[in-house]
Amino acid sequence: MHHPDINLILATGGPGMVKAAYSSGKPAIGVGAGNTPVVIDETADIKRAVASILMSKTFDNGVICASEQSVVVVDSVYDAVRERFAKCGAVILNKKERKAVGGVLLKNGALNAAIVGQSAATIAEIAGIFVPENSKVLIGEVSATDVSEPFAHEKLSPTLAMYRAKDFADAVDKAEQLVAMGGIGHTSCLYTDQDNQPERVAYFGQMMKTARILINTPASQGGIGDLYNFKLAPSLTLGCGSWGGNSISENVGPKHLINKKTVAKRAENMLWHKLPKSIYFRRGSLPIALDEVITDGHKRALIVTDRFLFNNGYADQITSVLKAAGVETEVFFEVEADPTLSVVRKGAELANSFKPDVIIALGGGSPMDAAKIMWVMYEHPETHFEELALRFMDIRKRIYKFPKMGVKAKMIAVTTTSGTGSEVTPFAVVTDRCNRSEISAG
């Protein structure tokens, strides 16, 4: 593993070997152990289920890591499934035989290498019992799903545990326990009427913490991909994801083993500039601009300005024109330089009570910024300004989508000679004194 010519380690084996690969200091892809449970419910095609399981378990004498290790059968069809296994060449072990075979499955708490890949007859001979030479699989009927039960472990041989479940939910629960005990992240399988039981397929998929969830499929062939399904890539190296301590959760293929180059030419985001619908300027344009408010049919106008402009009669230049046309007006003149969030909220409260259909900002940057935020609070009181203030590189790809404006009121900006540019931009800055920060939103 430490040889200088080694560029990447593909670790397929036991936990110790995989850990050594990950600890080697070289890039490594490791895969985990399987302990595939199979659930057979009352709607399954029993003949197909049994035939598929036997075909899978006898393929290479069960050494494929995705091969079935346990069969969990719903009570109402348990006897029928058991009978079908026996008829098709499986041996249902009696209590004495089950104990004998269970005694050779593990050695010092781990899989006994002597039985791996051996035939059913050879394993029976090792266990000191006799079965016909043409026996396909040895089945032990058990109830425990924890480490104390030898049949509950990964066996990599033509041996199977068989469990009786009260119903489908109980069967899935037992399958979950078996996966958690020794095959998390690897493979699980369900036999059901996949056309008429989509909710069971969905439930099984949701509950199983396995990367491969096979439906009505022999697990050895289905798990290694491109046989009986076309969603899994063909591979004998099957990742278990973070559940199983692996870096990937799919079948390892060429794409995981090659270095990919990407040549990226410079291409910049489109620039975007939003302007008001109408911009009036030069001496004497205010009355003409306000005529748009009247012709658009607005009836209630809220003017947002500062105390200096209000006290010196500048707000009257707007209110007099609007009142003469029958537009009701209200003036909020408490905006200060660098407006605070508390003042803005006060203005929004006035807007909520007055219910304007047009908001007119009069002054420099501060009244403009305050009026914009008041407008948002008035139209969308649920808005979180901390989220609006999140930065972005491209305004079209914001993390937080700006709410649609103009639902309750139109916004108009009337600038004084201080002219900060705020009157023609969709952005605003206010100060949050409670958190000692500035919020820039738009």
Q: What pTM, to 2 d.p., does this model score?
A: 0.70
DSSP-assigned beta bridge partners for residue 411: 359
* Catalytic choice (65, 88, 189, 240): 65
**In the chain, what are the domains?**
34-236 (3.40.309.10), 285-441 (3.40.50.1970)
Q: Report the alpha-carbon distance of residue 241 to residue 386 in Å, rounded.
A: 36
Q: Can 65 be counted among the known catalytic residues?
A: yes
C-alpha–C-alpha distance, residues 69 and 163, integer Å: 11
Q: What distance in Å separates the CA atoms of residue 150 and residue 142, rounded to the nearest whole number?
A: 10
- Return the pLDDT at 441: 55
Give the per-residue pLDDT at 404: 83
Helix axes 341-354, 365-379, angle to 10 degrees: 50
Q: Which residues contact 273 (CB under 8 A, 6 or more apart)?
A: none
- Residue-level pLDDT at 187: 97
Q: Which helix (H) or strand (E) holds 53?
A: helix 46-58
What pLDDT shows up at residue 322? 93
The H helix count followed by the E strand count for the chain is 15, 17
For residue 137, the model assigns a pLDDT of 98
What is the model's pLDDT at position 2?
A: 86
Query: By CB neighbour count within 10 A (0-12 exposed, 13-18 middle, 19+ buried), where does 193 fall?
Result: middle
pLDDT in single tens digits along all 442 residues of the chain = 889 899 999 988 777 788 888 888 899 998 888 999 999 999 999 999 999 999 999 999 999 999 999 999 999 999 999 999 999 999 999 999 999 999 999 999 999 999 999 999 999 999 999 999 999 999 999 999 999 999 999 999 999 999 999 999 999 999 999 999 999 999 999 999 999 999 999 999 999 999 999 999 999 999 999 889 999 999 999 999 999 888 899 999 999 999 999 999 998 877 777 777 888 888 888 988 899 889 999 999 999 999 999 999 999 999 999 999 999 999 999 998 888 888 989 999 999 999 999 999 998 888 988 998 899 889 988 877 666 666 666 666 667 777 788 889 999 989 886 556 666 677 777 777 665 545 555 4
Task: Tell me what pLDDT residue 423 has.
Answer: 63
Confidence at residue 14, expressed as pLDDT on a 0 to 100 scale: 72
